[in-house]
Structure 1
Amino acid sequence: MRRIVEIAPDGPRPSISLRPVPPCEPPFDDEIEPLMWASAHQLALDWSPPALLRVAAEQAAATTPAGPPALVPEASREAKLAVHHFVRACVEVLSGHRPPAHLRKLAVPAEASAVVAQGLVGARRVAQLRRAGPGRRSARRPSPVAVIKLRMCQPRPGVVEAAVALVTGERTWAMALRMELHQQAWCATILRLI
């Protein structure tokens, strides 16, 4: 790691640490220019449904009463707060600042053991990564686990799902979770660390 120190007229400024940016996401296909991946021999496909299917779909839409949408893409305020609280607790477990058993009270009782087990597996992986890191000294403070990106959606009322990108040192992790409204409280039902 390089450190740069500048001397200002009033005295030295604090040192600035320059670190490489961790690779978070690969480039998407839609970021590449179409000319790079389109072929001259590529067939143009017509994805529109046949006329009979189109007429049947229009008739079904006309006879079906308007109801709530099947997908609620934006999570409610309470769901967002619950997800942020749960993710913060998971980050503390992964960093080693909190025991994995603390996730039990944030999970549905029937699924609590699976949620705690995933937290324990993740904490062990992070600890093993810190021990096996090249050139690590015991006196040096280990790099914390940090959230890079958090995406969530509410597939139906009372359920929220989230995907979280985490980083520790130079390693990027993914975490997926599902929370449900259980007895007037948001509780985790699924936790997966990748």
Structure 2
Amino acid sequence: MRSTVEVAPRGPRPAIRLRPVPRYEPPFDDELSPQVWSSPRQLPLSWEDPPEPDTGQPERPAAPPVVAGASHDAKLAVRRFVHMCVEVLNGYRPAGHLRRLALPSEAAHVVAEGLAGARRVTEMRNARRPGTRRPLRPAPVAVLRLRLCEPRPGAVEAAVALVTGQRTWAMALRMELHQQSWSATVLRLI
């Protein structure tokens, strides 16, 4: 089956031809033999647990499982909190709004740190170098990088790299799961 469509507009342009794609079969990868990358002198690994010696003492309870990465809920809570902190630093939101995302016993410290960070950003924006004009629209605070770890289930720690204009900031925070909701317990701006 051959089909050709010719479109020739008026003028010196050449005609456009559309042709069908030729039929072909994809290669059969499942029929190939697997490639082995091991050395002939490599010892085989034993994946079975070695038998434990009997000490005659009762077994200790198992430690809580270590979470390889932060859980999905923890990631969402940290992103929400960081987003709110950036809004506070940019002046779009008052620092008191951080109170509802903080643990009640630590809320005053979290709000004070957010307020101090917002003041530092404002002072930096208002400071002018001699011979320069203040920009009409100052550069907003933005998140460069966010790193999370969950040292134990129910607690997540984050390090955030922030940038505004030519200056880079760091923010560290800790959130804990209390009564089915994540609450900030520590906030530090460096």
So what's the TM-score if we normalise by structure 1? 0.64
**1:105-141: per-residue Cα shift (whole Å, max 9, x none)?**
0000000000000000000000000001432426x10
Aligned to 1:32: none
**Displacement of 1:66:** 8.1
Q: Which amino acid aligns with 2:182?
A: W
The answer to whether the aligner puts 1:111 opposite 2:106 as a matched pair is yes
Aligned to 1:188: 184
- Which runs of structure 2 are paired with 1:16-95 in the superposition (5 Å)? 67-68=62-63, 71-95=66-90
Stretches of structure 2 lacking an aligned partner (at least 5 in a row): 1-51
Aligned to 1:147: 143
Find the structure with the greater CA-based Rg: 2
Off by >4 Å, runs of 4+ in structure 1? 63-66
Stretches of structure 1 lacking an aligned partner (at least 5 in a row): 1-57
Rounded Cα–Cα distance in structure 1 between residues aligned with 2:159 and 2:77: 14
Rounded Cα–Cα distance in structure 1 between residues aligned with 2:68 and 2:133: 43
Rounded Cα–Cα distance in structure 2 between residues aligned with 1:118 and 1:73: 30
Aligned to 2:155: 159
Aligned to 1:132: 127
- Asked if structure 2 preserves the Cα contact closer than 8 Å seen for 1:70 and 1:155, the reply is no
So what's the TM-score if we normalise by structure 2? 0.66
The answer to whether the aligner puts 1:178 opposite 2:179 as a matched pair is no
Q: CA RMSD in A?
A: 2.4
- Higher helix residue share: 1
* Count of residues in correspondence between the two structures: 136
- Asked if structure 2 preserves the Cα contact closer than 8 Å seen for 1:180 and 1:187, the reply is yes
